[in-house]
Amino acid sequence: MSQRIFDIRIKGEMSPALREAFEDVDVTIDCGSTCLRLVAHDTTMLHGLLDRLESFGLELLDIHSIEVPQPT
């Protein structure tokens, strides 16, 4: 099964306290927005992360998906 990298950008800069709720993803702060990077085997993990973002009332700006090539 192939892996995908999801880069998710949300509006605003996450506080350190809020970032603790997202310790399972890489979080980067960048000029008024926050980027979360998730490496996942399927979209179930993505949907779980999106549900968490919604539960905190965070505004989604953008999502990019990149397929990770499988070693041969």
| Dihedral angle of Cα 3, 7, 56, 17, to the nearest 10 degrees | 100
Beta strands in 1-72 (DSSP E): 3-11, 26-30, 33-40, 60-68
Residues 27 and 13: beta-carbon distance below 8 Å: no
DSSP 9: E
Which pLDDT score, from 0 to 100, does residue 42 have?
A: 84
Average pLDDT over the chain reads 93
| Whether the predicted pLDDT of 1 surpasses 70 | no
Which pLDDT score, from 0 to 100, does residue 51 have?
A: 96
| Whether the predicted pLDDT of 35 surpasses 90 | yes
- Domains present along the chain, CATH in parentheses: 3-68 (3.30.70.1560)
Residues 34 and 13: beta-carbon distance below 8 Å: yes
Residues 27 and 34: beta-carbon distance below 8 Å: yes
